[in-house]
Structure 1
């Protein structure tokens, strides 16, 4: 009977130890961070980063910093984050619009002449885009075709990751550009035509009667 009692006690103690071990492992698992969860340390920063990444994925936009503005419809965006603009791919041509030409543009009728001049409102368009974008992070949205014949990047440019209206459309609404859609890149064509019509009706910029 004593030997049986000893065996019984040994089995009971062993079972208790196993139960305690499993309970300790379960407690440790509950205390550990789950896969994909945000840890307490730096949780706020981590949540912002994840939220921003999610927003960009949902909107289909790519962020980059604008290092320079070439004119009213072209800017230099640091897509590869090396601190400089590598032409031509990092020259971003704003889709759906055409702004007046600066004197140094080959498309300017006075280019190469003895006294080249800016087209009307070319300087205003360039200045507005500079104030809106230069030195700031912007968000690029692609259309069907990503590069033009000069291998420049084609994009709709937004000041915020979730901004409803692009800088392209705002230039049209201010009368600093005209609508220009080529090929299949026509995602915002109705909106852009409405913005241009708004500038026309208010006689703003290019549509002013006294410039």
Structure 2
């Protein structure tokens, strides 16, 4: 069938209108959230420009599996973001070393007793991070994301205590610390203020131990 010039123009106008409507509608569509009930990348993290340089999100949502000691916790792995670093009773887990603090050592793999305050620090962190608690693993933009063992070096954010590491310091079970030669984590100044108060009050393990960790 032969098309007339006016018919072609009319068809072109309809196509243009449909194109504009389609594009406008796409702008109003909501962003797809993570699957409910599973660890996922935080929506806020995905919009954080701080992740652009590393190509990875600034924070990741997951859940606590267990507390290992006063400055270390195991969480559920998240594919592509928190790879399994170990297995505990056959369950894969990702280990997070709380950035910016150090607690007394439990000495699990050494022929030595736990350091002064180690058991109390471990138990206290267990109260802050009970099994199954949803947490956000938040990375410091100026520090390494992982150590040589593949563990995350990060802040652990909770609904109740916000920053688990700061709470450990505030309550007297850990001290501010980071390796010499490494960039100073952003939260070190507030951890130092919290530590000064804890020492002055003889809070937590400070009432029993002459020193706590390497802080």
The TM-score with structure 2 as length reference comes to: 0.65
Unaligned runs of 5+ in 2: 35-40, 52-56, 88-92, 211-215
Task: Specify the alignment match of 1:7 in structure 2.
Answer: none
On the 8 A contact 1:75/1:91 being kept in 2, the answer is yes
Pairing partner for 2:124 from 125, 128, 135: 128
Give the C-alpha shift of residue 131 in structure 1. Answer: 3.5
Task: Specify the alignment match of 2:143 in structure 1.
Answer: 144
On the 8 A contact 2:42/2:59 being kept in 1, the answer is no
Unaligned runs of 5+ in 1: 1-12
The TM-score with structure 1 as length reference comes to: 0.66
Give the C-alpha shift of residue 65 in structure 1. Answer: 3.3
Query: Take 1:14 and 1:197, find their aligned partners in 2: how far apart are those partners?
Result: 86
Question: Alignment RMSD, CA only?
Answer: 4.1
Q: 1:169/1:210 Cα in 2 relative to 1: closer, same or farther (>3 Å)?
A: closer
On the 8 A contact 1:67/1:85 being kept in 2, the answer is no
Identify which range, 172-181 or 81-90, moves more after superposition: 81-90
SS of residue paired to 2:68: strand
On the 8 A contact 1:67/1:78 being kept in 2, the answer is yes
Give the C-alpha shift of residue 29 in structure 1. Answer: 1.0
Give the C-alpha shift of residue 35 in structure 1. Answer: 9.5
Task: Specify the alignment match of 2:12 in structure 1.
Answer: 22
On the 8 A contact 2:147/2:153 being kept in 1, the answer is no
SS of residue paired to 2:86: coil
Pairing partner for 2:72 from 74, 89, 114: 74
Query: Take 1:50 and 1:76, find their aligned partners in 2: how far apart are those partners?
Result: 19
On the 8 A contact 2:169/2:176 being kept in 1, the answer is yes
SS of residue paired to 2:143: coil
Structure having the higher Rg: 1
